[in-house]
Amino acid sequence: MAQLAGVFGTSHSPALITPVPDWPALEPRVRRPPVSGLTDVRAAWDEHQARFDRAMKQLRHAILAVEPDVLLIVGSDQGENFGPRSAPVFELFLGDRVEASAADRRGEGPEQFRVSMPVATGLGQDVLKHLCAAGFDVAHVSETSHEYGIGHAITWPLRFLDLLDSDLQLLPLVTNVWNLPNVPGVSRCVAFGQALRTAIDASEAPVRVAVLASGGLSHLVLDEDLDARVLAALRSDEISTWRAIDDDELHLAHEKYGLTVRLNGTSEITDWIIADACAAAPAEVIDYVPAYRTESGYGVGMCFARWDRPAG
């Protein structure tokens, strides 16, 4: 039977694949007024880069230390393969292989940083059947339509965690965060994460599985208060702690700042909720960096965490 070997989480900001001198190009072009108390944020960028590097190294080591056969990545689609034709709440990619690009999509094209990794289709089919039987109508696909292939929430962590040439099989689990209204709320993500854990445990596939949440925390306007409550929930051994966060705080964060949904990455926190519920144990936060990009509050709550000995 399959075994859940560990659960992990990482932000996937383009800052993790972009040198510090190029970070100004990552700033949104929508102007906002300055935030009181934020001054000379760029002075901290070199320190931030050093902390990111340390955290990524620790996270990669932690993932490989549990000796997984499969990396099940939970990440959100952001206008890549979800859209007018289809936007399911949850979707499993069950093609034979992930053929995609982990390029930054600015100066790098789809022919660069190629991803070519096998998919754990046996485990995927088992998980799909169990989740559907448990009341989650999960979609499944075997092809992608975007020129870079499957979304960056899946491919970028493989790049910055240096896993592109590993022997891992992948199982991409993609969530909907931009195509309202069928986006998963906090309680639904808790229930889904718990069902995902049961589905993995019930699978007959003889594999060790590492689950990786990809995305978040708050961005593109950084909200340290919200992130503090997310961190408290991650570190708690009470799953009910997530009740301190309202669905609209995640899915409508852009409206709070007068932005479009395309500038709301805060909703990716839902992927962390799924991972936390799947682990059923308190997280160890490797690092959290409130990484501001501008004095107007643009930035990312950069988080790296592990639950490498899930209860069960």
Instruction: Summarize pLDDT for 44-65 with one digit per residue, the tens.
Output: 999 999 999 999 999 999 999 9
Q: Which pLDDT score, from 0 to 100, does residue 311 have?
A: 57
Q: Is the dihedral of CA 179, 185, 191, 196 positive or negative?
A: positive
What is the per-residue pLDDT for 309?
A: 64
Residues 218 and 269: their CA atoms lie apart, in Å, by 7
For residue 192, give both structure tokens.
Answer: 């889904």
Point out the residues of the chain with pLDDT beneath 70.
308-312
Residue 124's pLDDT is: 98
pTM of the model: 0.97
287 membership: H or E segment, kind and range: strand 284-292
pLDDT tens per residue across span 106-123: 989 999 999 999 999 999
Is the N-terminal amide bond of 168 cis, ω within 30° of 0?
Answer: no
Please identify which residue in the block is written with the tokens 């500038």.
Answer: 263
Over the range 242-261, which residues count as b (16 or more CB within 10 Å of their CB) and which as e? beebebebbbbbbeebebeb
Cα(first)–Cα(last) distance of the chain, in Å? 14
